[in-house]
Amino acid sequence: MTTRHLSALALSLAVAASAASAARAAQATPPAATVPSPEPSPVSPAVPSVAPGFKAPDVRPTAADVVGVTQQPFVGIALPDAIGMALMKNPDLAVAAANAKIASYQIRAARGAYDVRFMIEPSIKHAKSAPENAFFAGPNFGPVEQNIQNLKAGVSGQLPLGTQYSVSLAQTRVDDNTVVNAFDPYYLASLDLSVTQPLLKNAGINQSKLQLELARIGDSASRAGALAAASTTIANVENVYWDLVAAWRNAAIQEAALRNTIAQQNSNVRLAKKGAAAPIDAVESSTQVAVYQDNVFSALQTVSELQNQLKSLIVDDPADPIWRANLMPTSPVQQLPAAPHLSDELTLAMQHRPELAQAQAAQAQANADLAFAKNQMLPQVDLQLQYQGNGFAGNALPPLAAFGAQVPPGYLGGTYGNAYGNLGRFPTYSAGVVISTPIGNNTARADLAVAHEQQRIAKIQSNGVDERIVFDVRNAVQGYQSALARLYAARRARENAQAVYASEERKFKNGASTTFLVLQRETELVADEGRELQAQTDLNKAIVEMQRADGTILQANNVALDTLGKGDLQK
């Protein structure tokens, strides 16, 4: 290739690189703005004339009071007292505590399957029958008469392994007028022992044992549920309490701003009358007075709503005198805990959150149902053992020598005592095995499939609880850190706004500022005071949420399960 060709190639590459660079520059630099076309007149929808002649009525506000309470004196309430009242009288918590007690009673009811059942059966009988022949007839070929007195007593029941047992004693006295009769009266005694032991189905686990196990699991779940309800109740009370603190402080901020604005308006009116200020300055400050008057009423409405919300959490009687009290929180702000670490908070939560006990109870219930369902798939094989001892004694009559009758042995003579003594002389033993199973066994197969699915559901729910706890703890730690940062920033902003407002007031007094700027600085200061107040409230609530998330809220408030809802249940 010649030098001329190389020069031409280099020139082409340089031109191409320059063009590419220009294209990139054109893409990076936005195009110059163009003048838009004028917009056409809008096509507005037809609007009807509603309430013609309407204008705002000339009304005066009512007194700035909290409705439904005695305005003075204020009734102070500390946070621990509010929590204690809620734990004693909150209706939802009372129901949860009652359910826990019901679960404990159900354990006792399930144990009733193993109660020993006592039975006693006294009876008498008189029978008269026609004579059948010379031997089975009464005196002078009269009717055969029998008087029978019977008494039977015994116990029966079952054992946890499925063993069913029965023990009974019976005694009978028979008075008989039959001509051919060796004993009159005679006495019978019997001892019956029977045992049935399942060998496959219902061995080790059976319906009664399952119900007892489920009752115990239910008791654990109910107690955990009551603790979870207590945790939620405490958190709700604390959050509403701190919201009420903020509401009262906000009302104070708005009232202070109203007083300052009224003082500013009065000053402007005096200056305007002297000609030292424009009348519009007085009008402008009067407008701001109306704005802060509205803010005061809105703040008091929030106070009233939060008072009612707190009262609904701590009392259960609409006639309780506390409903007439003008509540004033007296507890100081929350003490800041040590800087939380996520791993430590997660460890605490996995040790103390009552939801974990609920999930474990659900898993245990599923496991018990599965074990029972597997057992019910087996055939029914029951070992049956029985012993019967029969005793006899009586008043021996003279033998009928004409028919070669022998004299009864001496041990057969006597009454009940001899009859019981003869129990071992005439025993009966029996043993057997009963085997049965349904063809197809569809019910047991279906129950087993259901039990497998229930166990799977319990596992999924348990994993969900673990995940939710991790979610709660992570959010709580993050929320606490964010609340600290917001409070720091809000405090700095409020301090700066306070300094700016004070400076603007000094300028105004020296004639270097205007009413508009003074009112604007005051508005900014009130807004920053509100943000600082909200940040402090958010920090208090973040501490509450962190205690709820890591499960320490119960220990921090000394919750005793046995006293939850006690005030409500004692009515």
pLDDT in tens, 521-549: 888 888 888 888 888 888 988 999 998 99
Q: What's the confidence (pLDDT) of residue 524?
A: 85
Q: Is 535 exposed, middle or buried (0-12, 13-18, 19+ CB in 10 A)?
A: buried
- Which amino acid would we find at residue 208? S
For the chain, the domains span: 77-105+209-368+449-557, 121-158+163-201+380-436
Identify the CA nearest to 96 among candidates 233, 217, 216, 214.
233
Q: What's the confidence (pLDDT) of residue 430?
A: 95
Q: What's the confidence (pLDDT) of residue 11?
A: 43
How far, in Å, CA of 501 to CA of 264, rounded?
A: 13
Q: Tokens representing 110?
A: 């399930």
Q: Is 72 exposed, middle or buried (0-12, 13-18, 19+ CB in 10 A)?
A: exposed
Pick among 1.20.1600.10, 1.25.40.420, 3.60.20.10, 3.30.930.10: CATH of 77-105+209-368+449-557: 1.20.1600.10
Q: Tokens representing 51?
A: 């309430």
pLDDT in tens, 455-495: 999 999 999 999 999 999 999 999 999 998 998 999 999 88
Is the dihedral angle over the CA atoms 544, 550, 556, 560 positive or is it negative? Answer: positive
The low-confidence residues of the chain, meaning pLDDT below 70, are 1-31, 56, 58-63, 276, 400-405, 565-571
Q: What's the confidence (pLDDT) of residue 270?
A: 82
Coil, strand, or helix at residue 142?
A: strand
Q: What's the confidence (pLDDT) of residue 431?
A: 95
How far, in Å, CA of 569 to CA of 89, rounded?
A: 8
Q: What's the confidence (pLDDT) of residue 571?
A: 41
Q: What's the confidence (pLDDT) of residue 401?
A: 55
How far, in Å, CA of 131 to CA of 395, rounded?
A: 23
Q: Tokens representing 416?
A: 């009940």
